[in-house]
């Protein structure tokens, strides 16, 4: 018969009491083992649940304190738990309970903090990270006004109204919390009211030292969403004295005179893209086949185009293009049309798709019976030159992908 050891349960209950009694937060213990998650904890502000939730893993006993440095305890874990934790939509916190001194230490699990080992992984849990002293520090995980990056700022001033537009990339934990975003948005809008960016000298001379009258912001939670044009939130602020206000959407709510639109289709579109993203290996294999088709079409058409310049035999040129129907059909029915490229392959994908569209335009103009010879030859020459300007960078873009 195994001997009952209460330390594990004491660690969980002691942690729960800190969250409940000392922080005043909501603690929900997981009654069924959830692959390394012992409880969920929700931040409460002034008695109001915020929807800002942590996933908590508690480890109890002196064995978790045997390995240490001068500043931290070393926690070693299993790969199966790590991959699950890093894929969580909630921030995951590890707690280790030391029974002799009734102390609990914490650490946020992020890929940056993980140290890969020969067999699994480890993470340092600072000795100063005492859970009962961490209320404000833990709240910062869900709210830090600096956890965003302005990826693109544009001066769209028009009709004597100074207008600033920006794309904002928000750290994913913050982006997933409406409470956090409702607090961040007014602060970010305020910063952009005082933007010193002007698109040219004319607007700089006209609006120098003038506060923006319109601020239009688009919020994203990943580079993929930026590239796909899928903001999870749009924001517009108009100075009440502005004569030329912008109102591009009906707001879901208004905070401090800032109109906010939460994109209802964002989640489903984001999931759809994620579920239909190619693996790197599969994408590069299919991209290579598509590029080879584009390149071969270009060389064949260029050769026949040069023959036309010598013979002026338009019928022969047109027949040579029509003979490549299968290759042209492949351009618009290739496997890459069924999914999305991985993030690191997006620049290569843009180049290939642009080159594909341009060479396909040769088929379109060649199939147009209403074009006269001069116009047709001019357009084919135009598209061939554009295709050449794209395909010469293929090797460069491919080498950028490790």
Q: How far, in Å, CA of 96 to CA of 291, rounded?
A: 54
pLDDT value of residue 4: 60
Query: Would you say 305 and 316 are in contact if contact means Cβ atoms under 8 Å apart?
Result: no
Output the six-digit token pair for 248: 């591009």
3-state SS record for 161-219: ECEEEEEEEECHHHHCCHHHHHHHHHHHHHHHHCCCCCCCHHHHHHHCCCCCCEEEEEE
Q: Is the domain covering 277-399 a CATH 1.20.120 domain?
A: yes
pLDDT value of residue 1: 45
Residue-wise pLDDT tens digits, 299-337: 999 999 999 999 999 999 999 999 999 999 999 999 998
Average pLDDT over residues 7-22: 93
For 166, phi then psi, to 5°, come to -150, 150
Q: Is the pLDDT of residue 278 over 70?
A: yes
pLDDT tier at 172, thresholds 50, 70, 90: confident
In the chain, where are the structural domains located?
7-142, 148-274, 277-399
pLDDT value of residue 119: 83
Output the six-digit token pair for 62: 């002196």
Average pLDDT over residues 145-165: 87
pLDDT value of residue 371: 87
pLDDT tier at 33, thresholds 50, 70, 90: low
Average pLDDT over residues 120-147: 90
pLDDT tier at 207, thresholds 50, 70, 90: confident
Domain 7-142 fold is: Trna Endonuclease; Chain: A, domain 1 (3.40.1350)
pLDDT tier at 35, thresholds 50, 70, 90: low
pLDDT value of residue 277: 86
pTM above 0.75, yes or no: no
Q: By 3-state DSSP, what share of the chain in percent is helix, strand and coil, each rounded to 5?
A: 45, 25, 30
Query: Would you say 176 and 153 are in contact if contact means Cβ atoms under 8 Å apart?
Result: no
On average, the pLDDT of the chain sits at 90
Q: How far, in Å, CA of 43 to CA of 52, rounded?
A: 6
Residue-wise pLDDT tens digits, 64-92: 999 999 999 999 988 888 888 887 778 99
DSSP states along 6-51: THHHHHHHHHHHIIIIIS--EEEE-SS--SS--EEEEEEETTEEEE
């Amino acid at each position: 018969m195994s001997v009952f050891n209460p330390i594990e349960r004491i660690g969980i209950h002691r942690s729960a009491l800190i969250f409940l009694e000392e922080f005043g937060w909501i603690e929900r213990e997981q009654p069924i083992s959830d692959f390394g998650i012992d409880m969920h904890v929700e931040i409460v502000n002034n008695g109001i649940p915020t929807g800002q939730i942590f996933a908590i893993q508690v480890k109890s006993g002196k064995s978790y304190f045997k390995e240490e440095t001068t500043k931290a305890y070393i926690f070693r874990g299993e790969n199966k738990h790590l991959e699950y934790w890093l894929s969580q939509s909630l921030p995951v916190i590890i707690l280790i309970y030391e029974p002799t001194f009734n102390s609990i230490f914490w650490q946020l699990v992020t890929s940056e903090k993980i140290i890969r080992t020969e067999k699994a992984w480890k993470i340092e849990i600072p000795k100063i990270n005492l859970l009962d002293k961490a209320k404000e520090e833990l709240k910062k995980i869900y709210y830090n006004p600096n956890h965003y990056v302005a990826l693109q700022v544009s001066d769209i001033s028009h009709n004597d109204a100074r207008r600033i537009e920006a794309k904002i990339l928000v750290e994913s934990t913050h982006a997933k919390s409406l409470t956090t975003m409702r607090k961040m948005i007014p602060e970010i809008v305020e910063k952009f009211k005082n933007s010193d960016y002007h698109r040219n000298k004319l607007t700089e001379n006209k609006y120098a030292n003038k506060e923006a009258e319109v601020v239009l912001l688009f919020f994203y939670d990943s580079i993929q969403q930026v590239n796909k044009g899928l903001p999870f939130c749009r924001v517009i602020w108009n100075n009440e004295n502005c004569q030329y206000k912008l109102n591009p959407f009906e707001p879901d709510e208004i905070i401090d005179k800032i109109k906010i639109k939460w994109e209802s289709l964002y989640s489903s579109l984001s999931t759809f893209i994620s579920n239909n993203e190619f693996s790197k290996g599969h994408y590069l294999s299919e991209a290579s086949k598509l590029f080879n088709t584009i390149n071969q079409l270009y060389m064949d058409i260029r050769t026949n185009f040069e023959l036309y310049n010598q013979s002026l035999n338009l019928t022969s040129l047109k027949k040579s293009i029509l003979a490549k129907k299968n290759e042209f059909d492949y351009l618009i029915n290739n496997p890459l049309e069924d999914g999305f490229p991985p993030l690191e392959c997006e620049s290569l994908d843009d180049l290939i798709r642009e080159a594909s569209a341009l060479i396909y335009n040769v088929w379109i103009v060649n199939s147009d019976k209403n074009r006269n010879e001069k116009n047709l030859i001019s357009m084919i020459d135009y598209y061939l030159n554009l295709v050449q300007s794209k395909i010469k960078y293929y090797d460069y873009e491919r080498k950028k992908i490790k």
